Chain A
Amino acid sequence: MRKLAVWKFASCDGCQLTLLNCEDDLLPLTDQVEIAYFPQATRAVAAGPYDLSLVDGSITTPADAERIRQVRAVSRRLVSIGACATAGGIQALRNFSDIGDFSSAVYARPEYIDTLATSTPVAAHVPVDFELNGCPIDKDQLLTVITAFLRDSKPDIPSHSVCVECKQRGTVCVMVADGIPCMGPVTHAGCGAICPSYGRGCYSCFGPQDTLNTRSLAGRFAFLGMPEPAVARTFRTFYAAAPPFATESSMHSGGGR
């Protein structure tokens, strides 16, 4: 039976919990793979190498930068899961500031803090076989990825906009009908367009879609009355350091470097 490992780096662990939240699908999953390393679920550890490693979290310390290389070395396939592992996560807000300022403001003895200046995705350190977006990831998409891995096929995870999901479920566009700024047009599908179905704009928990135009959307936000610093903040949340969002946010006042 193929061995599955789940690794944690800098994160809230929510994406690992998504695996445990598979509920009815979890037992069939254990018929298909041996959960060989998953400290969140069990203290039992089976020795590597591992057929599939799911990596949660971003790289924020020199120790983690070294550890991710070891994980890669013992993994046949490596899939990074969640906003942290695929784009640096919320903690990548540090990338736009000086980490030394944060350390001295927060800690009595900042010299004890051994951290990197930036929070970076796994793919910035080692080759990654697939990146699954989301903050947190979607349970069904995770199962799709694992199922595809079991069949050695490419996961069918659409990379188009959230707008497709709104239209598929019959949600009326909140930006057009209510004037609510919405990140849906630039955001990767996967959540099923939850927020617009409750009359709220998309917060881009799933990061950039693959044919996006952030310049145009930022222009529409301004047209809808959003102040410049708010435009910067809107692009600087879960996927702040994803390159298209980082570039856009830095073009607005208050956006920092």
Chain B
Amino acid sequence: MTSGPADAGEAMGSAARAPTGGMPPSRDRGAPTEKGTATPPPGTGQAAVGAPVITDVAGLQTVIDTLAGQGYTVIGPTRRGSAIVLAEIGGTQDLPQGCGDSQDAGTYRVTDRRDEAFFGFAATPQSWKAFLFPSRELLWSGAAAPGRLTVTPDPAPGKPMAFLGVRSCDLHAIYIQDRVLLGRAYTDPRYAARRADAFIIAVGCSDPSSTCFCVSMGTGPAPSAGFDLSLTELLRDGRHRFVARAGSERGAAVLACLTAPTAGPDDLSAAQAVTDTAAAHMGRHLDTRGIRDLLYASADHPRWDDAASRCLSCTNCTLVCPTCFCASLETVPDLTGEHLTRQRVWDSCFTSGHSHLSAGSVHGTTRSRYRQWLTHKLASWVDQFGTSGCVGCGRCITWCPAAIDITQEAAALRVPAPHDPAPGGEPA
């Protein structure tokens, strides 16, 4: 049986540590935004702590070294085989320098940028979810004797993690997972501990891919808040530099180790130009006007059958989505039955087991499963959590082996069905 985290039962506590530092998420269940779509910016008020500074590659290495010296495992982008993935890094030499990417529906290729950029690519195959909400996690192990079960909780995760290169879309995704996993009656103590410890270094996006649409979702491309440090990479006049700003006191403390000069007006305008260029190069657009009501009114739209004819029900979209949080709980006994473990593993609304009840699966067809996913992501998520479930990162488009495009599917629902009086006329 599968459940969302709120139902994840016995291992959850309500006294989890609140995230500190980087992102103080607003805990109130905000009312749905007017159009029911845009994600509110994480955090509130003034993001910057102190003036922006200008630094270089050696300065970035100092940041990494400083964090490692403080006990953080530093995780950032690195080239591995055919992709730029997120993994532990030791320094700037591990970053995918000169690598870009070319993404489209169902296609991803690493490209050669012919420059020195460390962060000249768009969304990585997997998001930071893989670290904050890992795919498989031991919750407890136990010993069973006749009439008695002794439970040993798995110790909370050890080393704190520092994330280098978090894009604005993914910052918003973390904020959304905070709402799901921390902002409700029951919190996930392991997520809370990792989240509280995580040091976030955001990077302003310079090269969105053809599957990006963060501008449509109001989630990027420039990080606005919710980070400890934020970098904008500048490659001008043969100089490789970064405009860096602190978003928290601990971020300011790390920046202070650099003794970097305050960024000048030219640097700041160059950084702004990076953001402006990125915003102007969104590969996709999602029309969010009235989208919540559109989805609700489209339950019987024939487009679902069309989507189902292409959908593989393979789960890839949900597992690469940085906000999807569904998990299943497994109890695994050994042969003797004397020892057992309880584990949480990623699950997906595209499996038949996800909605399995005594009479079978509630979502027994791919049409039903795809409709459930898109309707939750773009509509009922708003009612449930106060934000859209989509941040426009485009991963579900790129990593769909069948090249299904969420922006196209949503747009198709606006086209009235034959014999249908209005777009999404009568709710089913």
Residue ranges of A at the interface with B (Cβ–Cβ < 8 Å):
25, 28-29, 31-32, 143-144, 146-147, 150-151, 156, 158-161, 163-164, 167-170, 172-179, 182, 184-186, 199, 210-213, 215-217, 219-220
A211 contacts B335, C-beta separation under 8 Å = no
B82 contacts A177, C-beta separation under 8 Å = yes
- B402 contacts across to A, CB distance below 8 A: 185, 213, 216-217, 219-220
Q: What count of chain B residues pass the 8 Å CB interface test?
A: 48
Which of B107, B320, B401 interacts with A185 by CB under 8 Å? B401
Other than A177-B81, A177-B108, give 12 A-B pairs with Cβ distance below 8 A: A147-B335, A158-B353, A161-B314, A167-B319, A168-B345, A172-B83, A175-B106, A177-B109, A186-B314, A211-B352, A216-B309, A216-B311
Q: Is B334 an interface residue (CB 8 A)?
A: yes
Interface string of B244-280 (1 = CB under 8 A from A): 0000000000000000000000000000000000000
Q: A163-B314, A215-B309 are in contact. Are A158 and B335 (CB under 8 A)?
A: no
Chain B, 89-111, CB within 8 A of any chain A CB: 106-109
Q: How far is the CB of A220 from chain B (nearest CB, A)?
A: 6
Residue ranges of B at the interface with A (Cβ–Cβ < 8 Å):
80-83, 85, 106-109, 125-126, 130, 135-136, 308-316, 319-320, 330-337, 345-346, 348, 350-353, 366, 369, 398-403
| CB nearest to A163 among chain B residues | B314
| CB nearest to B364 among chain A residues | A211
A159 contacts B353, C-beta separation under 8 Å = yes
Q: How far is the CB of B165 from chain A (nearest CB, A)?
A: 17
Q: How far is the CB of A119 from chain B (nearest CB, A)?
A: 28
Q: A216-B309, A217-B402 are in contact. Are A163 and B315 (CB under 8 A)?
A: yes
Bound complex: CA of A220 vs CA of B404, how far in Å? 11
Q: A28-B336, A158-B351, A164-B351 are in contact. Are A173 and B369 (CB under 8 A)?
A: no
Q: How far is the CB of A197 from chain B (nearest CB, A)?
A: 10
Bound complex: CA of A31 vs CA of B337, how far in Å? 12
Which of A32, A167, A213 interacts with B135 by CB under 8 Å? A167
A161 contacts B125, C-beta separation under 8 Å = no
Which of B107, B346, B398 interacts with A164 by CB under 8 Å? B346
- A32 contacts across to B, CB distance below 8 A: 335-336
Closest 7 CB pairs of A and B: A185-B314, A167-B319, A211-B313, A160-B351, A168-B135, A185-B312, A177-B82
12 A-B residue pairs with Cβ-Cβ distance under 8 Å, sorted by A, are A144-B332, A156-B330, A163-B316, A167-B316, A168-B136, A173-B108, A173-B316, A174-B82, A177-B81, A178-B82, A185-B402, A220-B401
- B345 contacts across to A, CB distance below 8 A: 168
B335 contacts A28, C-beta separation under 8 Å = yes
Q: How far is the CB of A151 from chain B (nearest CB, A)?
A: 6
* Most A C-beta atoms less than 10 A away, residue of B130, B312, B319, B332: B312
| CB nearest to B345 among chain A residues | A168
Q: How far is the CB of A162 from chain B (nearest CB, A)?
A: 8
B335 contacts A184, C-beta separation under 8 Å = no
* Most B C-beta atoms less than 10 A away, residue of A159, A184, A185, A212: A185
Bound complex: CA of A174 vs CA of B109, how far in Å? 11
A184 contacts B83, C-beta separation under 8 Å = no
| CB nearest to B85 among chain A residues | A172
A213 contacts B366, C-beta separation under 8 Å = yes
A172 contacts B311, C-beta separation under 8 Å = no
Which of A146, A164, A170, A175 interacts with B85 by CB under 8 Å? A170
Q: How far is the CB of A219 from chain B (nearest CB, A)?
A: 8
Which of B125, B309, B334, B351 interacts with A173 by CB under 8 Å? B125
- A147 contacts across to B, CB distance below 8 A: 333-335, 337
Q: How far is the CB of B240 from chain A (nearest CB, A)?
A: 28
A211 contacts B369, C-beta separation under 8 Å = yes
Q: How far is the CB of A78 from chain B (nearest CB, A)?
A: 20
Q: A28-B335, A143-B335, A147-B334 are in contact. Are A164 and B401 (CB under 8 A)?
A: no
Which of A170, A216, A219 interacts with B130 by CB under 8 Å? A170
Q: How far is the CB of A190 from chain B (nearest CB, A)?
A: 14
* Most A C-beta atoms less than 10 A away, residue of B135, B308, B315, B403: B315
- A220 contacts across to B, CB distance below 8 A: 106, 401-403
A212 contacts B315, C-beta separation under 8 Å = no
Bound complex: CA of A143 vs CA of B215, how far in Å? 50
Bound complex: CA of A15 vs CA of B136, how far in Å? 28
- A213 contacts across to B, CB distance below 8 A: 308-313, 366, 402
- B311 contacts across to A, CB distance below 8 A: 213, 216
A173 contacts B399, C-beta separation under 8 Å = yes
Bound complex: CA of A151 vs CA of B336, how far in Å? 10
- A186 contacts across to B, CB distance below 8 A: 312, 314
| CB nearest to A215 among chain B residues | B309
- A164 contacts across to B, CB distance below 8 A: 315, 319, 346, 348, 351
| CB nearest to B130 among chain A residues | A170
Which of B107, B108, B313 interacts with A212 by CB under 8 Å? B313
- A150 contacts across to B, CB distance below 8 A: 335, 337
Bound complex: CA of A32 vs CA of B310, how far in Å? 47
B135 contacts A199, C-beta separation under 8 Å = no
- A217 contacts across to B, CB distance below 8 A: 312, 401-402
Bound complex: CA of A199 vs CA of B400, how far in Å? 18
Which of B125, B314, B334 interacts with A177 by CB under 8 Å? B125
Bound complex: CA of A156 vs CA of B331, how far in Å? 9
